[in-house]
Amino acid sequence: MKSLRYILSATLLTAAIGAAGAKSSVTATLDSSYITMGNVTCLTVDIVEPREAHSQVGFLPGTMPAEVEVVGEASCDTVDLDANIRQITRRIILQSFDSGAYTLPPIFWESAGDTMLSNMVTLKVNPVDVSHLEDIHPNADTMSIASRWYDFLPDWLVDYWGWLLLTIVIVAGGVCAILIYQKRIPLTLIPAKKPVPPYEMACQRLNTLREQHYCERGQEREYYTELTDILREYIDKRFGINAMEMTSRQILEHLGANEITRPSERLMRQILEVADFVKFAKMRPMPDDNVKSFNSAMKFVEDTKPQAVEEEAEDAENDNDTAAAPQSNTTEKPTKAE
């Protein structure tokens, strides 16, 4: 019935071709008339028409079999045959998923009231060979999948572990920054050296001062400035008295109020009196005064040293006495023999 309808349509339109029919033509051919289900083929349409023609080409609505689909157009080429005629070649892609023989409708051509129909072609779609699927195959063995340690973790932890780690780092960094800012955690990039006790530091600096020979070179002012600074720092570190910011009178008052420094307050008074005369009155002391001031400073440090240092010194003296005792006995024996 479809073929009969196409023939009747072509017969009715033949009369409308007229003079244009002698110059125009539409021809349809298939690249392959046999395809397998799911494959594609191209329907090549050759159109010969006048160059000035404004034509429209396509299938008549509702005439294409439902089993055949128009996928798209592969190409469209135009070639001039002479000065007034041109040839248009269009390649239409067809595809079918149902087996059977299908007669394709003619291609309809229309230009300025003139119409033409192409010839009809037949497409045969062969079914897919499924004979090899009729055999029954045994079931495959179960596969053993290697397990990993994080397979036992919750999915949310595996999916968002990066964000959790970043959150922990940010929180820990914020807590450390707060503690460091509040000085609850000391920030020491370089390990601090073991502090030198005030007594030892004062002795070392006094010995260094003696080796400078300031007084021999006439630099008494520098000598007494360094001497008083050593004593002021020693008093600050040893007794917690802020002697570096005090006057000589204030230092003597604090020393007199301290039970440990009260007996040695007179030594510090002698040193400060001479130092104030030298630094402020520009007086040049006698060499004996310089020696006396240095000895007073050493005695002040020795008299006020910590008790532990005194006990260590006494233990060292006892060890020396014990070691020397056998030697004295050996020297007495020859005398008795005589």
Q: Given a cut of 60, is residue 74 above it in pLDDT?
A: yes
Q: Averaged over 314-333, what is the pLDDT?
A: 50
Indicate the average pLDDT of the chain: 81
Q: Alpha-carbon distance 233 to 167, whole Å?
A: 49
Q: For the range 258-263, what are the long-range contacts, defined as Cβ-Cβ under 8 Å and sequence gap of 24 or more?
A: 260/304, 261/235, 261/304, 263/303
In the CATH scheme, what is the code of domain 2-126? 2.60.40.10
The per-residue pLDDT for 97 is 92
Is the alpha carbon torsion for 216, 222, 225, 230 positive or negative?
negative
Domain ranges of the chain: 2-126, 153-181, 198-308
The per-residue pLDDT for 329 is 41
The per-residue pLDDT for 20 is 43
The per-residue pLDDT for 232 is 93
The per-residue pLDDT for 313 is 56
**Least trusted range by pLDDT, from 67-81, 142-156, 198-212, 305-319:** 305-319
Q: Given a cut of 60, is residue 332 above it in pLDDT?
A: no
The per-residue pLDDT for 95 is 93
Q: Given a cut of 70, is residue 192 above it in pLDDT?
A: no
DSSP class of residue 134 equals: S
pLDDT band, residue 14 (cuts 50/70/90) = very low
Helices (H), 82-195: 155-159, 161-181
User: Cα–chain-centroid distance for residue 266?
Assistant: 67
**Least trusted range by pLDDT, from 29-33, 115-119, 179-183:** 179-183
Above pLDDT 90, what percent of the chain? 36
Q: Averaged over 107-132, what is the pLDDT?
A: 86
Give yes or no for a contact between 128 and 36, defined as CB atoms under 8 angstroms apart: yes
Q: Averaged over 254-266, what is the pLDDT?
A: 89
pLDDT band, residue 309 (cuts 50/70/90) = low
The per-residue pLDDT for 331 is 37
Q: Which of the two residues, 242 and 111, has the higher pLDDT score?
A: 242
In order of 2, 6, 114, 186, 206, the CA distances from 62 in angstroms are: 11, 12, 21, 89, 119
Q: Averaged over 85-97, what is the pLDDT?
A: 92
Q: Given a cut of 80, is residue 4 above it in pLDDT?
A: no
- Full strand arrangement of the beta sheet holding 68-80: 25-30, 40-50, 85-96, 68-80
Q: Averaged over 202-228, what is the pLDDT?
A: 91
pLDDT band, residue 283 (cuts 50/70/90) = confident
Q: Averaged over 288-295, what is the pLDDT?
A: 91
**Least trusted range by pLDDT, from 87-101, 121-135, 137-151, 155-169:** 137-151
The per-residue pLDDT for 281 is 85
Q: Given a cut of 80, is residue 205 above it in pLDDT?
A: yes
Angle at CA of residue 123, ends 120 and 128, nearest 5°: 175
**Least trusted range by pLDDT, from 16-30, 99-113, 165-179, 293-307:** 16-30
The per-residue pLDDT for 337 is 34
Closest CA relative to residue 93, chosen from 123, 50, 126, 116: 123
**Least trusted range by pLDDT, from 137-141, 237-241, 273-277:** 137-141
Angle at CA of residue 248, ends 245 and 250, nearest 5°: 70
